[in-house]
Structure 1
């Protein structure tokens, strides 16, 4: 019964707003510890959309993102006892998902093109803080993510962890087993490459 809800990925793609708030955080945690199917299903439906966005930023394809998402939820369900109560349960789950994506990137070097879906409405506003390029506003979401996906894997991973997931360079260095200075270097180079790719895409659109 543990994975019953995970097998219904397509049905729950847009279900976030339809889920009634039936459980408190404590009830969710305890229900998952007891492997209660209804609680697991509720949690999966409630956070599918948010966590799919996280996986889409790391995965090379939509199929990979869905698989990594399911792997992440499986870890949440089976390792919920490791949640120590520090911070929010949602924040802990997100870290589990991000770590799952990083683990998959370490195992796989696939560079296939990403099949796009709309991932995050505020992507442009988030990027505009980190990339000073007026052309950013003229590009559609797909073109922006396309530019991001063209970055080499390590550059893209450091950029994602810092810009979208809010990790500091010390945390990134620990996650990727690199030095803090190296993390700074990858981020700066990724910013430069993103500026260049955005400018190139703008010229193509004219």
Structure 2
């Protein structure tokens, strides 16, 4: 970091000379805010950040954004002008040692859909691209009207939990562009039109 300070100052000076400091936000990112005992690293990083901007008069007029989810929760003094919550917006904890419920975190959004159709498959039959899910028993498969084109993560693995008609179940196989499959074997009342929660409230 020390080697980078002159370079950072040079960039700031070039921005000032070009009159481009209007609308500029000064930022750093706390890579160890989620670590137990990370306070020393946070303090070191804040000192370096302050040193970097101390020789730049225009910095006083620029908003500062430092805190990610972990820093918002553990180091509230780093909030400054803007904060950048990430995982906490999804109701997830940034800490390995503390779960979301203990921190009072809930997702700020809910992704909902419905069941389009239901198919019955036999043991040994496959579901989805690449046939990555192979039924180990007769399985009732629900087709959900949501896929990666709708914002659901394409990389979400088979077995990812979802809620159908208020009951927790799992996805089957890979996520398609506008559909995904789920297991309705234990949900006999669920069918076409049943509500689905893919993330958020109730999951």
TM-score by length of 1: 0.23
Q: Which has the larger radius of gyration?
A: 2
TM-score by length of 2: 0.23
Structure with greater helix share of residues: 1
Structure with greater strand share of residues: 2
